[in-house]
A and B are shown apart, each in its own frame.
Chain A
């Protein structure tokens, strides 16, 4: 990956709505070059999607999240990738990671109610042949996600004017 693309990604990770014009000024390249670099990354799957980081607690909506540690027996002709793909196809599943350590897959699940989530685990996840065990932990509060702190806005402690 070129240094330019890396710098672009860093800026866009901070705020993906910085206008093209500004990005190009900041990086000292033309708008054309900037647009092309972004397009390339969109096409080759480096940039998958642009989404807001949402603090759902600010919205009155039913939403339960859980992290499920999943133990899996990899079977002949069916490695972790295949098991993972069985799991990530469920709409409730928002993220799936293959992990080192005492379990194999970490599955992040979202549902409207606790009941829905529970039934996902018991009726959809646990019943998969290769899943040998699950441990579900519910998210109680979100403090920071994707580098964004949720409640306490970073305070600028600097003097308004200094030499």
Chain B
């Protein structure tokens, strides 16, 4: 009955396809999940300890809206060292509740009703709904396995209309693992400039790249800092998902507006998460980012194992260069992504996420996370192989 109070703008957005899958899988005993979207490491001890110290010292108050200045200074230093971009801690950095808040803010300060925002498809589940909530119109920008799921300049050009305001640019990519290397960025740059687009660059997986595909921030291209909102956070690089801490970096005029919404709605990110994040960056600066490199090596080994496993069972799998997902094609089985995942879950108790949860272009693919223990991965591969093999037999 109370539905009459709801805004159609909100009810029109369907609930996340991932959520529905979670409801089925969550109740199943003995299931192996490749459906997770977070590291299997616990936050390094020294980082957790910094938060505990802070709590014990009674640091339980608000921080500045934009976040602790000392943390913002570390973020600025980190971005310069790792990605060769420079932001002023005082005016160009805003500490947020996860990269998620930063995405929402970036859209809310820039989008007016009728504005179109290009969203890579397949892509992370939140972008299109956030565009809609901000009053804009999400326009899918299809990427394909043949191109390594990268955005190519012609496809971008074609998707742009006079109403296009912004491009969401999430690389390294969840769910595809695609990385846009410098040369790919440079090929896109003229199109973006010609149409004067704002780039919302979600770089949360920046530290997780493999095979020498070092991350290049699009903000590092000449002239691009001015049109880019760079978004990053601590969840993936430092295994800190539950701490909910991210940041947005942008020219002062944009940061000020994001901070305005942030200060009215959020006030500030939790202090202990900020303290922990500062510890993560400071120690990283001192020890050459040892925590990150150790975890990255471990993901890399499992990445190779997973690509190899899918290839062996006859599912073609483009080699992901970033994040911690494989996005193999299941087209050869003749099933839709949804059918494949549902039946796999029922018969073999392995959880994968249907590609369609990430947009219509995800059809024919499934997302599998390799941030899981070796034993479980091995068992999961056995089960998927058995499932695929039986499909072939029953056809």
Q: Which residues of A are in contact with B by a Cβ distance under 8 Å?
A: 7, 11, 14-15, 18, 22, 25-28, 156, 158-163
Answer whether residue B317 sits at the interface, using C-beta atoms and an 8 A cutoff.
Answer: no
In contact, B301 and A27 (Cβ under 8 angstroms): yes
Asked if A25 meets B353 with Cβ closer than 8 Å, knowing A158-B38, A163-B125, the reply is no
Bound CA span A11–B26, Å: 31
- B35 partner, pick from A7, A25, A27, A160, beta carbons under 8 A: A160
- Measured CB to CB, the nearest residue on chain A to B36 is A158
In contact, A161 and B40 (Cβ under 8 angstroms): no
Count of interface residues, chain B, beta-carbon cutoff 8 Å: 29
Bound CA span A163–B369, Å: 11
Some 7 contacts from A to B, beta carbons below 8 A apart, are A25-B305, A25-B308, A158-B40, A160-B26, A160-B351, A161-B25, A163-B16
Shortest 6 CB-CB contacts between residues of A and residues of B: A161-B35, A26-B301, A161-B22, A162-B37, A163-B125, A25-B308
In contact, B304 and A162 (Cβ under 8 angstroms): no
Nearest CB of A to B90, in Å: 33
Please, which residues of chain B bring their CB within 8 A of the CB of A25? Answer: 304-305, 308
- B36 partner, pick from A11, A15, A22, A159, beta carbons under 8 A: A159
Bound CA span A127–B33, Å: 59
- A26 partner, pick from B33, B35, B305, beta carbons under 8 A: B305
Answer whether residue B69 sits at the interface, using C-beta atoms and an 8 A cutoff.
Answer: no
Nearest CB of A to B309, in Å: 9
Answer whether residue B382 sits at the interface, using C-beta atoms and an 8 A cutoff.
Answer: no
In contact, A161 and B36 (Cβ under 8 angstroms): yes
Please, which residues of chain B bring their CB within 8 A of the CB of A27? Answer: 301, 304
Bound CA span A25–B37, Å: 24
Asked if A160 meets B22 with Cβ closer than 8 Å, knowing A14-B374, A15-B374, A25-B308, the reply is yes
Q: Name 8 extra pairs, CB < 8 A, besides A28-B304, A160-B31.
A: A15-B374, A18-B374, A22-B378, A158-B38, A161-B33, A161-B35, A161-B37, A162-B22
Please, which residues of chain B bring their CB within 8 A of the CB of A14? Answer: 374
Please, which residues of chain A bring their CB within 8 A of the CB of B196? Answer: none
In contact, A160 and B374 (Cβ under 8 angstroms): no
Please, which residues of chain A bring their CB within 8 A of the CB of B21? Answer: 161
- Measured CB to CB, the nearest residue on chain B to A3 is B297
Contact with A along B358-384 (1 / 0, CB 8 A): 000000000000000011001000000
Nearest CB of A to B371, in Å: 9
Interface centre among A14, A22, A25, A162 (most CB of B within 10 A): A162
Contact with A along B24-51 (1 / 0, CB 8 A): 0110000101011110100000000000
- Measured CB to CB, the nearest residue on chain B to A163 is B125
Bound CA span A136–B38, Å: 47
Please, which residues of chain B bring their CB within 8 A of the CB of A18? Answer: 374
Please, which residues of chain A bring their CB within 8 A of the CB of B302? Answer: 26
Answer whether residue B387 sits at the interface, using C-beta atoms and an 8 A cutoff.
Answer: no
Asked if A11 meets B35 with Cβ closer than 8 Å, knowing A161-B353, A163-B18, the reply is no
Nearest CB of A to B21, in Å: 5
Contact with A along B268-307 (1 / 0, CB 8 A): 0000000000000000000000000000010001101100
In contact, B301 and A160 (Cβ under 8 angstroms): no
Please, which residues of chain A bring their CB within 8 A of the CB of B33? Answer: 158, 160-161
Answer whether residue B124 sits at the interface, using C-beta atoms and an 8 A cutoff.
Answer: yes
Asked if A159 meets B40 with Cβ closer than 8 Å, knowing A14-B374, A15-B374, A26-B304, the reply is no
Answer whether residue B126 sits at the interface, using C-beta atoms and an 8 A cutoff.
Answer: yes
Nearest CB of A to B292, in Å: 16
Nearest CB of A to B241, in Å: 8
Bound CA span A71–B304, Å: 51
Asked if A163 meets B40 with Cβ closer than 8 Å, knowing A14-B374, A15-B374, A22-B305, the reply is no
In contact, B38 and A160 (Cβ under 8 angstroms): no
Bound CA span A156–B26, Å: 13
Nearest CB of A to B91, in Å: 32
Bound CA span A49–B279, Å: 39
Please, which residues of chain A bring their CB within 8 A of the CB of B18? Answer: 161-163
Interface centre among B297, B301, B374, B378 (most CB of A within 10 A): B301
Bound CA span A14–B297, Å: 14
Nearest CB of A to B98, in Å: 12
Nearest CB of B to A17, in Å: 10
- A162 partner, pick from B31, B36, B308, B374, beta carbons under 8 A: B36
Asked if A156 meets B124 with Cβ closer than 8 Å, knowing A18-B374, A25-B304, A163-B18, the reply is no
